[in-house]
Amino acid sequence: MTQEIEVVIANEAGLHLRPAALFVQTASGYESDIKVRNLTRNTDYQNAKSTIGVMMLQCAKGDIISIQAVGGDASTAVAGLKQLVENNFVTL
């Protein structure tokens, strides 16, 4: 199963090291293959389970990212990552 969503980066500092690490940590908790790209900057897809890959997206506040997951828990994965981004990388 493939799932894909788009979400806006609302964090004032964008997707810098700390939020990127939380994003990767969250993505790594899913079995699905997960990729992410910055639609605003028209970047290539990067592995969402790689801190360096996520940092390469250079996401700033207001940028739109696409999160794509392929696998058995794809729906749960994109929902969890979307929630993390929408909560400004504050884990609940």
Q: Which CATH number fits the domain that encloses residue 15?
A: 3.30.1340.10
Task: Please give the residue range of the domain that contains residue 67.
Answer: 2-86
pLDDT on residue 22: 96
Residue 91 lies in a domain: no
- Name the pLDDT band for 39 (thresholds 50, 70, 90): very high
16 has catalytic annotation:
yes
Residue 55 lies in a domain: yes
Residue 92 lies in a domain: no
Which whole number is the average pLDDT over 79-83?
97
Residue 44 lies in a domain: yes
Q: What is the pTM of this model?
A: 0.94
Residue 30 lies in a domain: yes
Q: Single out the catalytic residue among 13, 16, 71, 79.
A: 16
| pLDDT tens figures, 60-70 | 999 999 999 99
Burial of 66 (0-12, 13-18, 19+ CB in 10 A): middle
Count of domains observed in the chain:
1
Task: Reply yes or no on whether the pLDDT at 92 is more than 70.
Answer: no
Task: Reply yes or no on whether the pLDDT at 37 is more than 70.
Answer: yes
